[in-house]
Chain A
Amino acid sequence: MELRIDSAAVEQARRLAAAIVDPIADFIAGHTTVAVERAVVRLLGIDGIDADGIPLPNRVVDALTDPAGGAARALGAAVAETGRAPRDVALALVAGEPLPDPAATPEAALRAALAPHVTRALAHIDARRAERDALIARLPQAPPPLLYVIVASGNIYEDRTAAVAAAEAGAQIIAVIRSTAQSLLDYVPHGATTEGFGGTYATQENFRIMRAALDAVSERLGRYVMLTNYASGLCMPEIAALAAFERLDMLLNDSMYGILFRDINMQRTFVDQHFSRLINTRAGIIINTGEDNYLTTADAVEQAPAVLASQFINEAFAHRAGMPDAQIGLGDAYEIDPDLEDGFLLQVAQAQLARQCFPAAPLKYMPPTKHMTGDIFKGHLVDAMFNLTSVMTNQTIHLCGMLTEAIHTPFLGDRALALANARYVMGTARHFGDEIGFKPDGIIETRARVVLGEAVALLGRVAERGLMESIAAKTFADVSRLPDGGRGFDGVLAKNATYWNPFEDALRPLAPA
């Protein structure tokens, strides 16, 4: 089944999104953030915490005498002067030995001193990626839509039990949702954690625990089970670095979500999302963007063009990080009011429109949440219609809806019911979409054209006004954010003439795709 939509309009949307991102790319190229620098520090092998529980990457970046020159120069100078590995430089710092002034070391010497550590980090990331490729080749996944469920007990060990049970019940992707406050922490917590609210902290150790459990169950089931976490909030690049090291397969990673929905400073977010996507690109990690949030916070029928426009913008930002389409999991959600007559038709229109606009993207389809009321019986039915839409329109990443949405974080049995629902609907209707066509100029096709037209108009207005100015003017999600407002603005730095980030150099320039 194929919608007859105007391919010139699709091309125009893509051109406008590129034009929107261009000036932001220039801004990104000239700036760094404390989170980017902490990610560099982590990539160089520095982790752990000091006696007060402060992560060493934070200690190192806070101690920089020339932060606008980047952490790599300071560490390179220290490695060159002392012959220590970067991690030992950090431990010496904690023991009271200040970082040397990088200006005192010749540029060539400090760069050369760090080079083997940069090479080692990239080789480590490449090795984890190759490992994933080999596992998927040996343990092939069931065909998409890939069934994705969330675990969120707050305790990583309970999450592990839930994740293994979900995998056995048919889940192909497990996301460990984070504790609700983590997006606002300006550091990454350390170690295995057993306390969290509405989720479990993202830490490197928690990643390791979950990866090991899923690798074991993948072997047992003969199919690779993917692991997902969140590169969002104030630590996007650090989480990306940790995820690359621990072979996570997907990360939630949106270019504007933090700005709009967490009031994180836009300059911070733009710079952070870029560096995180450079890392994700290298690591082969599929990003999931957060367009579903437009729909949960406002009317889903009205917001459809904003979703499509945001998908084009997220794609343009990802392309600037060199990310191939196969890693750009653009988001959408099934959030239209179930009481609206023909609402299902509008959902199909939107999902199919995204499929045709982004044919190579592993689209991420999110379940109904806003209109789930606690009536689990109706909720299970609405989820079934969502499952049908997903399989009909060839969505790739399918977050299974829970009948107990709006009641509690899922019980183990809720996940099993959700997976059984999805497996039933997707099995019984597997090739339905290949067998039917849309009525020419019918409700679905007309709706898709209207949404595409309005998205192009919206992108045109944003291109004209500028993205930062448009966000300030409430263009997205009906919220206004100012360029110097929001959390984390004090962590944005203009790079100085000496700035050096060997990973940025190694990963990819910002030139338009």
Chain B
Amino acid sequence: MTQTASTLTEHRIAYIEGLVRQGKAAAAVFTQYTQDDVDRIVKAMVLEGLSRAQHLAHLAIEETRLGVLEDKTIKNMVAMEFVYDYVRDKRTVGVIRELPGCGLIEFAEPVGLIFSITPITNPTSTVLFKCIMAVKTRNAAIFGPHPKAWRCCSEAVRIMYETAVKHGAPEGVFTCLESPTVADNVYLMHHRDVRLIDATGGPGAVKAAYSSGKPALGVGPGNTPVYLEKSADLDMAVVDIITSKTFDNGTICASEQTVVIDDEIFDDVLKRFADLGAHICNDQETNLLGRSLIDPETGFMRPIAIGQKATDIARTIGLRVNNGTKLLVAPIQGVGRQHPLSVEKLCPVLSIYRARSVEEALRVCVDVNHAGGLGHTAVIFSSNDEIIRRFGDVINAGRIIVNSPGSIGALGGVYNDLVPTFSFGCGTGGGNSTTDNVNVYHYLNIKRLARRAQAHMWFRVPNQIYFNRNAVENLRQFASRSTVIITNPALEQIGLLDIVRRSVSQQAFVRVLTIPDAEPEVNVINRGLETLKAHRPDQIIALGGGSVIDAAKIMRLRYESPDADLDELAAPFLDIRKRAVPFPAGSANRVRLVAVATTSGTGSEVTPFAVLFDQERSRKVTLADYSLAPDVAIVDPQFVMSMPKRLTADTGIDCLTHALEAGVSIFASPYTDSNAMQATRLVFRYLRRAYRRPQDEEARGMMHNAACIAALAFSNASVGVNHALAHAFGARFGISHGKANALMLPHVIAFNASVPTKFMPSPNQRGYNAHKKYATIADLLGLGGHTVAEKVQRLVAAVEELLDDLEFPRSIAEMGIPREEFDRAVPELAITAFDDPSWRSNPRMPLLSELQELLWLAYQGRHQSAAPESSECNRD
């Protein structure tokens, strides 16, 4: 009949409540202890435990009638000495680990009161082990021993408790149930003041622990397969297996159960077993063992043989063996119910299986593993590393012991560097929460203190930038065998291509590839790629505006990395350094890419961006990576002297938008700020002149510099919500990029200068400072104003005045777009803008509703921007 907590008498409940009360108080008080306190107590407990090891082994044998006195003594000593060796220097109180490089500090927090179930097979050693663990971690424990081992366990608890309290541990830190029952366990498992259940025992106790709804460490039975592979050292292997399987009469659940032996060595191995004192059973004897030891109803072993000597087992079941027989070895032909001895046998009875191939051996080991041993322990003897690794891969065991005894090997610290334990986690395969050798860290809550990280910032620019008139002549210094110049027909016609050709090294063989003056399409890239393959250039010169330079960037990428998947490389990302799809690493002998800019806006000559139009799927593909950036930029005003007036205004405002957005970006740094501010200053000083007097070479040159300098800023700080919105409605209504930016710019400045509805997570920034940075820009421009709010207002006004002087429309409405059409488009435009990666560096996170509001402000026109003076952000 299943026992439940409801079967407990009032008296029994009062008794258990008393234990809980003591444990709870002790756990509470224990939290005040220092590392030195617990280390002092643990040391005293270990010394006492070592001195009482044999005494406790005697008690265990006397009460349980299982195992071997000498081995139990050793187990008790291992539980003290080896466990202590592992934990003595471990920090388990307060700060336990500091990772200064990551800004992390780990603190230990005790779990509280633990209900600890211990088994009949390793009673006192498990108690000793768990007492050390509890004190080392400042926890209290109530022990629930196996009902047939509670007296010896109670004595072990008493010894540990008295020693601990004598050396300062809180009273009540350990208690042990007297005459424990399953009902006691159920009651405690569900008690609200028990914080953790640590159940080492049979499957019933483990399952009950996990079913209680409490955090539990439940570790249960095993069925250890052993692969004895033909390359193994047989002298060592056979002795190790006998040592392990006979240790404490096979009561350790990690001990060997079925040894799968390669055919080539099978007979030799059997002879060695026999020579060393094992009895090799014939078929009838194997059947007798199976019938006697294994219950055919349940398929599990009967209690009669657990922890008994081989000779005693033989005598009990009527099997004739020599005196001094250590081990009964039973050949089996398979795994499963038809082969009863293929399950766990906690006694000196070992199954063996003859395997005709490595594959068969591994299959049978997997079968044994799945016949009750999932997650527990497995053993392999082999000198073939490949087979050892395959075994490790196919077997599901928390401990895979190589060339050593399973039981002692799994305990850790003797034959290997596994963590010493008396509690083997079996993972999900065994219905457990861990595959670890349970130790002190499982008795702790680890708290992590994470300091704000100092973000790693960067400022990456092309190797060389040449500027001012005739800067193009610097091309001559670059040695080249073969140069391909990529340009568009219009630039060829007005003679700019000739200027470049004349400047290229005389030694270079020069080819020209002309492409359309539009966003590069996939077929254009493919055609260019064929040209590059045919001429194998060591230098590519892109002569043109953003489209031509972008095309050249992508052609070089495809030429150098033919397998690059542009769709994958265009995958969205939040942080260029953590992107899911990295760009191919550039080779040491990269083709030099020189960009000669013929417009003053995009800054593509220095940026790591390139836009491709995928005509087949009707969409833009944006690539971003510093490997795309040209190696050399030529910023020579003679190439922009013929820019049309409208293009001058559009590209100039694009440049201003780059500078202002980079200036307030969450990725802004002192390096990008200096560029953003200087670019802004140059635009305000020279754009009007360049617009009004196209032949003003100084103005043209300075605007050309401004575009490049702004690009240096936004290449490293990125842009913002202005670009996201401009991309969306510019594409929808066929408005040029510069004009779309201009229509948004005053509204976005006001938006960013006010208190955000939603802040952007920005570890690089300390507080919200967009409004202050706009004010600084206003100061730089000499706009006056006393407060931040006034300065921001004046900056907005100055931008509006500039836009008027450049004859930009004041509203989207002015562009002739009907209100109804715009109204229908706005919801989708907001969604498109929100999908645009540009805003992710914006200082203020835009809500979809705010994007819609901004679009409407731009539709209605300037001078209607939200008044920034009402905003909290505009305080000084």
The judgment on whether A and B are partners is no
Q: Spell out B's residues near A (CB within 8 Å).
A: none
